[in-house]
Structure 1
Amino acid sequence: MADEHDGEDPALDVPVTLFEDVEDLKAAVARLTAQLEARTGSGGEEPGEASADDEAAAGTEAPAAEEEEEWKYPPFILLLDPPEYDAELRGLVEWVEGVLVPGYLAEPSSDARWCHLWFEHPVAIARLHAAWLAWQECTDPASCGYTGPSVWHRDHLDPALRELRGSTGPFAGCVKGEHALAHRLPSVVPSAWTHAED
């Protein structure tokens, strides 16, 4: 039986635009591959090829627990130790003195106390830091939309200032520009742990 094609390739009727489309697709794949490699830092391995790192890791077991993810926002200041505490306190001082004091605190009075050495009052540091963390989140439209600042005033700032500036707050002994820290030191609170040892 004679070969119908006689060793020649059959003539295909393929439009030229199909070849252009294929070339465009190849260029797009090459561009996306380059972007992927740039973002992931992977070498130029072909799909299906194992890198040297993958081969080395194949014989080892994965760690039992993955490392904890970094905090997205700073943790509460009372949970920090130096030098992280000191860095967070510096940021808090900048926010309180740059935003809160000029924008929200009127002249101190017997009904609305304020201590210029507020950063020496641990309760004030805790409440102001909590308000600052909330401010960072609530003033970001991506996380709270456009109502975030209103929510921050209502739910965070107003209650914090009421507690700080009230007659029983941490500044209760700081009157007429005089700073008094010792007046608010707490006494030892009874604990179930200490009674269990008796």
Structure 2
Amino acid sequence: MTTPEPQPAQAPEQKPAFILYMDGPEYDEGLHRLTLWVRHLLLPVYGREVTSGAEWCSSWWKHPEAVAQFYGLWMAWQELTGPESGATGPSTWHRDHLTHILASLRDPSGPFSGCKPGRHRAKQPPEMDPFPS
């Protein structure tokens, strides 16, 4: 009976960090890459006309919710449309990610409510009572 040769330890696969866990230069670089994807792919292909029923903010990166949702959408895009993805990856991305994210962001009561093209309106998050200790 032979014993198997010891295998060298492999480092765990490095997964991309979600943008809400980034700060400083790492956040700035992540946001920069995201804005390129939104500007050059997402908006030209999927950016529909702005209406009162489909709000938009041309300074969307000032909305933390939009940044988080677009970044998640972008991460899913990379996983489901890359060279290693299966043939149904793009369809899955459209069905499970794109439709829901855009509907949520562009909803009349969503994060862009009150924004107009070229005019950002900052939103205040709701307050929360202190948790009793």
* Shorter-normalised TM range: 0.7 to 0.9
Partner of 2:82: 140
Aligned to 2:14: 71
- Deviations along 1:35-67, one digit per CA (max 9) or x if unpaired, are xxxxxxxxxxxxxxxxxxxxxxxxxxxxxxx9x
CA distance in structure 2 between the aligned counterparts of 1:163 and 1:136, rounded to whole angstroms: 21
Shift of 1:99: 0.4
- 2:132 corresponds in structure 1 to 195
Matched, 1:102 2:41: no
Letter in 2 for 1:190: D
Report the alpha carbon displacement of residue 185 of structure 1 after superposing the two structures with TM. Answer: 1.6
* TM-score, normalization by structure 2: 0.85
Kindly provide the CA deviation profile for residues 152-175 of structure 1, in whole angstroms up to 9, marking residues without a partner as x: 011111000000000111000103
The TM-score with structure 1 as length reference comes to 0.59
Q: What residue is the counterpart of 1:186 in the other structure?
A: 125
Identity, % of aligned pairs?
46
**Unaligned stretches of 5+ in structure 1?**
1-65
* Cα RMSD after superposing both structures: 1.9
CA distance in 1, matches of 2:107, 2:28: 27
Letter in 2 for 1:174: C
5 Å-filtered alignment, 1:1-198, equals 69=12, 71-72=14-15, 74-142=16-84, 144-175=85-116, 177-181=118-122, 184-190=123-129, 194-196=131-133
In structure 2, C-alpha distance between the alignment counterparts of 1:70 and 1:180, rounded to whole Å: 40
The one-letter code of the counterpart of 2:99 is D
Give the CA deviation at 1:69. 3.5
**Which of the pair has the greater relative contact order for Cα pairs under 8 Å at 6+ separation?**
2
Q: Tell me the CA shift for residue 140 of structure 1.
A: 2.0
More helix by share: 1
Change (3 A) 1:69 1:148: same
**Residue aligning to 1:31:** none
- In the alignment, structure 2 segments of 5+ residues that lack a partner are 1-8
Q: Deviations over 1:62-90 (max 9, x none)?
A: xxxx9x74623x21100111111111000
Tell me if structure 1 keeps the 8 A contact 2:56–2:117. Answer: no
d(CA) in 2 for partners of 1:160, 1:187: 21
